[in-house]
Amino acid sequence: MERDHSAMLETSLDGLHLELLHLFAYQAAGLQMPLYLVGGVVRDIFLGRAVNDFDLVVEGGIASFAESILKKYGGKILVHSRFGTAKWILNESTFKRLDFPVSRFPDFELSFDLVSARSETYSQPGALPTVERSTIDDDLRRRDFTINAMALRLDGNHYGELIDPLGGEADLERGTIRVIHPKSFIDDPTRIYRAVRYEGRYGFQIEDDTLALIPDARSIIAELSAERIRHELDLILAEPNAASMLARLTELDLLKPIHPVLFFDESANSRLANIGSFRALRRISPWNLDRGEGNKRVLGWLLWLMSLSHNDIGSLNLRLQFTSDFLASLFATSTMFSTLSSFADITPSQCVERLSLYPLNAVEAVYFIAPDEKIKDVFFKYLAEWRHVKPHITGDDLRERGLEPGPRYAEILRRLRAAWLDGEIKSTEQESKLLDKLL
């Protein structure tokens, strides 16, 4: 049965985005510039999935199209003529021009990416492409998979018209991941990791002929930049099914070509398998830590790699060039993971002395995989209670007692905190008496 694509468009987008989409379509029709909704958004509309943003492709000069939007509706335009891209950033004055209630203006940046239809050529395998302005047909044929190579036209009487030269809609119905041409993975080996991600996310299968192209591209993976391969792994580790995707990468021998120390065994699988439940726990946990989107990926990396030795982490870092903050967290999880049993019988003060040396996201990750309730309880109490304990006496009090500032301050305050943590003192009077002894 043929789909009513215009009706699908109308029901897939929220009211604000749909109104703005009609605005773009009206402007494109007036300029006689064909305008298309392209790629992943079309795929997700057909799959009935939530659509949060979309790619707009225009046949023609992106600068003139963007300028017409700016002139009529205000806001701010960032144009990159060299790449044929523009970004329109809306502001409250735009809402007033559109007669939208300012109360509807979201509390996040509302922007749209606009791109000229283009073709791509690759100077060598794995290199970034050279881009030239072209037609929508060429634009679709430069993409990674058939399911991402569909477009819905938006302007004028063409509204809702499907452009699908490569059979993407049929592949969606079959649940098939298929490349567009035989050199696809050689041109860009990151597409292999994307194929595994789509396969795991949608419950699809990579087509046999597409699977057969992987071995010829495997040797080029080592030539990919740290940023490009790390980005693909970031996206995988942010997925709810990250564990099954990493298992699939192992099955296809796609981890070792990145770096010899990368592996995904049963132990790593058990750590990552319940990451969704841990993310839920992080939303309701009693400790107030940053729970931003970036932490989803960081947590995945830590759970995956915590069993590596410090030497292996250092070697892997030379390949993937982690940020210094993340590298510190990874070294910390490795240390804690290798010494977990030693946390079973330590005092609260000993726990605080040890764990306060480490980033909190590393402590959280190890808490999640702690092998028994006794150790898990130690980590829980550190995160929820013990790390907040401080003596009532301060450095100012020590100065008033006549103690010269110096290293002795830290020793005394640490000793007082330990006494509170271990129940040695339970009141300010007892704390004062202990200070008398220490002095």
Which residue type is seen at 389?
A: V
Domains and CATH numbers, the chain: 5-174 (3.30.460.10), 175-258 (1.10.110.30), 259-388 (1.20.58), 395-438 (no CATH)
Q: Residue 376: what pLDDT? A: 92
- Give me the percent of the chain exceeding a pLDDT of 70: 91
Q: pTM of whole model > 0.75? A: yes
Q: Residue 1: what pLDDT? A: 45
Summarised one tens digit per residue, pLDDT across range 178-230 is 999 999 999 999 999 999 999 999 999 999 999 999 999 999 999 999 999 99
Lowest-confidence range among 21-35, 224-238, 248-262, 321-335?
A: 21-35
pLDDT higher for 278 or 62? 62
pLDDT higher for 332 or 398? 332
Summarised one tens digit per residue, pLDDT across range 82-125 is 778 888 888 887 887 877 776 766 666 778 888 888 877 776 77
Average pLDDT, the chain: 88
Q: Flag whether pLDDT at 283 surpasses 70.
A: no
